[in-house]
Structure formats: structure tokens, C-alpha cells
Structure 1
Amino acid sequence: HRLGRLEIGETSVLIGVSAPHRAAAFDACRFAIDTLKRTVPIWKKEYFEDGAVWADGELPPAPVATPRAKPAS
């Protein structure tokens, strides 16, 4: 993932996958980018001729509490 200012069309994320068949590779890549977009807080500032604004980013999901097993007596 890249940090800093990126121009339109520049690569911001690179994902490499390998699989015996291209359909599986495409599925793996799609899963990876969808997971990245859903779980990583990505913030971007968009620049216009008359100013700049921060685009809405997604917050990371809240941690889910998992019940702990009680130790055996």
C-alpha cells in the first residue's frame, strides 16, 4: 500500500496471487482487495481547483469479544 500524495492513475495497491487456474487467482485477488477495503481504514484527501476535502473512509470493524472457556476444576 502506498502512502503520500498519488496522482490520478498511479498504483496505490499491489496484490500478487498465484494459482493453477486463472479463475482461482482472480477470486483470490478479489477476496484480498475486498478484505483490504473492508478492514483497513483508508483515508484520502481529494484535491479540486477550488479546494480540497477528505473523502469518507471506513472505520475498521470493532473487535468482537469471544467467550473464554472456564478452566477445568
Structure 2
Amino acid sequence: MNCIIIDDEEMARAIMGKMIKSLSQLNLLQEFSNAINAIKYLNQNEVDLIFLDIHMPDFTGFDFIQTIER
């Protein structure tokens, strides 16, 4: 299962990344510090699972979900 992480906190991305990499059924494709770059990535890549921070400056996790809903 291909996944990405979106979180503005570097430490949170690092911890989540280590956890994901320890699980053989998950493949971490990319980490993003902001939702805008993640949206650009999703427009060109297929992802099965998104680990998303809800409280981010400029673009919340809720904003992100509304943007990618199809």
C-alpha cells in the first residue's frame, strides 16, 4: 500500500516515517511539509493512504481533504 505523510512538523514526519517503514505492508513514497506540494504530487501519482496533520498553517488538513475530494 503506497502512502505519503503531510505534516508541517519535521519531528512528526520523522517519527511517522520510521513507523511506516517498519511495517512491511506500507510503502512510504514521499513526505511533505505542506499540503500544496502534496496536492501537486497527488495530481501526478497514485497514493493509497495519506497520513495527514489537521493543524497546519496556511492550509489545514480539512482544507486539504476538501481540495482533493472528487
Q: Which TM-score applies when normalising by structure 1? A: 0.27
Q: Which TM-score applies when normalising by structure 2? A: 0.28
Which entry has the higher C-alpha Rg, 1 or 2?
Answer: 1
Higher strand share: 2
Higher helix share: 2
